[in-house]
Chains A and B, each alone.
Chain A
């Protein structure tokens, strides 16, 4: 079962490439010329997102490196009993919308300190799998087309994020209560 999933996973992308090119070629399209024409946009898009990436990554790096993130997590942990939400889970929930690689670091840290099959380990896995790096996605996607006024995007995105985290915590408690 696991191997089958792995095989499907590894062959999805080659299969998409095959299907697109074969279908286009069968319809007598100039597949090579079309490809090059589309690929040309890649450079502009990638270069255009640099200033937006620098802004968001630098701000996040300063906030994390200064210890402000840990302080904020500690402040929130003060109001929540650790039996309900372990303090490291609060840090993970705060880090995840900002940085994917940092969140992975926090998750692995939780694995090594509490154990991967513990309640915090389970919680961290579910949160990691059900949330996204909101600010990074917003900065890159809007940056690529030069939009400055993002209106309600972040509020809506964070609402989804917050809901996902709360549901993850509840599910983890249910799972360990039933076990």
Chain B
């Protein structure tokens, strides 16, 4: 599936970029810019052939630059002039946050805290992830990730989610293919689960809303419907392809001092 999406985005993106560059070289284009914090719309018309060819070349450069920018470390957004992180920058930022959370998680795991939490909502877990033993660290890590999502702790949710994926991968007998449990976990994760949409409220306040919190209940309803749809879709679609085999090596007896798999 990701193969189709990737190919579609790149092929269609570049073909559209080329045709629109050719088109706009003929008709002229409007360019949005931010100058001194204000948005300015600039109209450009190309009359001579030389100008047209240059405009077409510039469009290609912009496309290339954008792809390079988001792959790199940090870059300046060409429109807003704000500094943004590329893929490498994001990953570097993650190293520390990830280490911090995985460190605390290890203590919680060794202390038996996570298993305690997992047992508290065992019935729900058994429905969603029938093949994940409730005492396995995967159950606890998934629970912690969902708790972080519910509380809106964005920078905790990702490290905890990745931790859960690593634990699920230990149960997975086919290492390059997603198990049913992984698909369900991701489907739950890809529809938001926030209790208090703090960031949206914040943006509404900043935009001068007179009733910034009216969206809380609608968001909860929409989120709930999205979740139910995702779970149902997952339960139905998982019948289309066989689940991956389980690895049956002592899932419960993993001690606190065991090294990670990698």
Query: Which A residues fall within an 8 A CB radius of B?
Result: 2, 5, 9, 12-13, 16-17, 20-21, 23-24, 27, 29, 31, 34-47, 49-50, 53-68, 71, 97, 101, 104, 107-108, 111-112, 116-117, 121-122, 125-135, 137-142, 144-165, 167-168, 171-172, 175
Contacts and interface: CB of A to CB of B under 8 A. Distances in A.
B223 A164 contact: yes
Given A9-B151, A41-B166, A149-B177, 14 more contacts: A39-B102, A41-B262, A43-B95, A66-B13, A68-B13, A68-B17, A117-B210, A145-B169, A147-B177, A152-B234, A153-B187, A155-B233, A159-B233, A160-B187
Interface stretch (B50-58, B83-91, B119-127, B246-254): B83-91
Given A23-B113, A108-B203, A154 B1 contact: yes
B230 interface: yes
Interface string B112-146: 11000000000000000000000000000000000
Given A112-B207, A117-B211, A152-B183, A62 B67 contact: yes
Contacts of A108: 203, 207
A49 B94 contact: yes
Nearest to B100: A39
> Lowest 4 A-B CB distances belong to which pairs?
A38-B106, A160-B230, A66-B17, A42-B99
Interface in B148-203: 151-153, 156, 158-159, 161-162, 165-166, 168-169, 175-178, 182-184, 186-187, 189-192, 194, 196-198, 200, 203
A60 B12 CA distance: 11
A56 B241 CA distance: 25
Contacts of B237: 151-152, 155-156
Chain A contact residues: over half helix, strand or loop, or mixed? helix
A1 to B, nearest CB: 9
A58 B90 CA distance: 14
Contacts of A23: 108, 111, 113
Contact of A61 (B70, B192, B241): B70
B186 A153 contact: yes
B35 interface: no
A67 B208 CA distance: 30
A163 B91 contact: no
Contact of B111 (A27, A36, A53, A129): A27
A171 B189 contact: no
Given A13-B156, A63-B13, A46 B209 contact: no
A138 B66 contact: no
Contacts of A104: 203
5 contacts: A135-B5, A144-B165, A145-B165, A158-B190, A164-B192
Select the residue from B13, B95, B259 with max chain A CB neighbours within 10 A: B13
A111 B110 contact: no
B98 interface: yes
A172 B218 contact: yes
Given A129-B223, A157-B186, A66 B178 contact: no
B16 A68 contact: yes
Nearest to A134: B190
A147 B170 CA distance: 12
Contact of A167 (B107, B169, B225): B225
B262 A34 contact: no
A141 B189 contact: yes
B22 interface: no
Contacts of B158: 140
Contacts of B232: 159
A126 B219 contact: yes
A66 B186 contact: no
A65 B59 CA distance: 9
Nearest to A126: B218
Given A13-B153, A24-B107, A46-B94, A130 B14 contact: no
Contact of B218 (A37, A68, A145, A171): A171
B96 to A, nearest CB: 7
Nearest to B226: A164
Centre residue among A23, A126, A128, A142 by max chain B CB count within 10 A: A126
